[in-house]
Structure formats: structure tokens, C-alpha cells
Amino acid sequence: MLSWAGRSVDDVIGELRQDLIDQFAAISPIAAVGLMVAAASKLVTDFADQLSQTEQDDYNNFLQEHWTWLATTPRPPRPDDYLHPDDRDQTSYTLAVETVLDSITDGIGSVPDGETAVDAAFVTQLLEYVGDPAQVTRWREDLLGHLMETFPRQLGFHNVQLLPTDVGLPPDGVAATRGCPRSHQEDRRSEQAIPARPTPPESQRSSAQ
């Protein structure tokens, strides 16, 4: 049973880890945003028994809009912020999910200031509190290692296409099972069924902003 025991999310998470911020700063901001969207998808799946169908649909619609945005280049205007319903009582589970949704919006807004890494670190530390810390740590380390190789910071943001499969999710962007999204190694087993991403010329990669 998830409980905040009357504490705020910031109190539960405590001080943000500088080592995590530094690691997220090494990847493209678009990859950091994608990781946060994957984290939210995980929570919606993990908390399905505690969320109403309306809440699940509401959250998944927000996430699908962001997957479309992440996969579209040149980068279009960002999706709308999450609209918190006024007629719904907040629970520990909706608080966790909606905190991540708000962090996604904050992370996109932080791109010009180079602060998206802070939002990504915050989200993964939140996952450690609401889930299995060891499992979250393994998932984060595996995925960050993959993203540092495939989406380094110098790729920039505007011309970088990111798909759900890049962060260990199925092509539709929905975390189909409980627990962390699949690791990159696990996702490789099914990549033959996923349409290949066109590989841009080397000159385009080096000039991407």
C-alpha cells in the first residue's frame, strides 16, 4: 500500500543526487524526456488496480500525445500540460503518477536552460520510493548506458527522433507488464518486429541541434 504519510513528494525524495543529474546531463534532453514518459507509463501499469478506468485513460492519452511529439521531427510545439481534474479526490497513487506527468512538462520547459537532467533525476528517485529500489536502479543504469551511446547530449533536441522502443517499451509506448520497462538488452530480442529507424547521414548527425 503506497502511503506518503502526510509528507510532500519533495520530503519523501529528499536531496536530489548530483551523480544522477550528471549522468542525465550526458544524454540528449529528448532522451531524458522519453525516459520520464516511460517511467509514467510504468506507474500507470503498476497502479492499474488502484486507478479508475477514467484515470488510466486520462493518463495514457497524455502519454500518447508525448510519444507522438517525441517521435516527430522537426520538433512541433510541445503538448499541453496535464490538466488536473477539479472534481476528483487525490490518492497516493494519482499523486505519484501526476507528479511524474508534471515533471515531464517541467523537463520539456527546462530544455532551453539545460535543466532537463534535474527533472529526470527527480522522477527516477521518485520511482525508487514507490517501487522496488533495486529494480529501478538496474533499469536506470542499463537504460542510461544505452542512451549515452545512442543519444549523447551533442545530438541536441529539435531534430532527434525518439521512439518508445528506445527506452525499453513496446512500439505503442504502453508498459504491458508490471515492474520497470524492459531493459535495452531484453528489447533487442524483439527488435526484428519493429520497423527500422532511417539512419541519417553522418553530416546530419553532427549538425543536429
Work out how many domains the chain is built from and give that number.
1
Q: Residue 6 falls within a domain, yes or no?
A: no
Q: Residue 162 falls within a domain, yes or no?
A: yes
Owning domain of residue 140: 11-207
Q: Residue 3 falls within a domain, yes or no?
A: no
Query: Could you tell me if residue 156 is left (phi over 0), alpha (psi between -120 and 50 degrees) or otherwise beta?
Result: left
CA distance 85 to 92: 16
3-state secondary structure the chain: CCCCCCCCHHHHHCCCCHHHHHHHCCECHHHHHHHHHHHHHHHHHHCHHHCCHHHHHHHHHHHHHHHHHHCCCCCCCCCCCCCCCCCCCCCHHHHHHHHHHHHHHHHHHCHHHCCHHHHHHHHHHHHHHHCCHHHHHHHHHHHHHHHHHHCEHHHCCCCCCCCHHHHCCCCCCCCCCCCCCCCHHHHHCCHHHCCCCCCCCHHHHHHCC
Q: Which pLDDT score is estimated for 43?
A: 94
Q: Residue 2 falls within a domain, yes or no?
A: no
Q: Residue 72 falls within a domain, yes or no?
A: yes
CA distance 116 to 110: 5
Q: Which pLDDT score is estimated for 184?
A: 40
Give residue 41's Cα distance to chain centre: 8
The torsion angles phi and psi of 13, rounded to 5 degrees, stand at -75, -35
Residue of 202, 105, 121, 207 lying closest to 156 (CA atoms): 207
Which portions of the chain are predicted below pLDDT 70?
1, 5-6, 176-209
Question: What is the pTM assigned to this prediction?
Answer: 0.83
Q: Residue 5 falls within a domain, yes or no?
A: no
Residue of 108, 99, 87 lying closest to 126 (CA atoms): 99
Residue of 176, 173, 169 lying closest to 190 (CA atoms): 169
Q: Residue 4 falls within a domain, yes or no?
A: no
Q: Which pLDDT score is estimated for 75?
A: 86
Q: Which pLDDT score is estimated for 7?
A: 78
Cell numbers placing 34: 522519453
Q: Which pLDDT score is estimated for 177?
A: 58
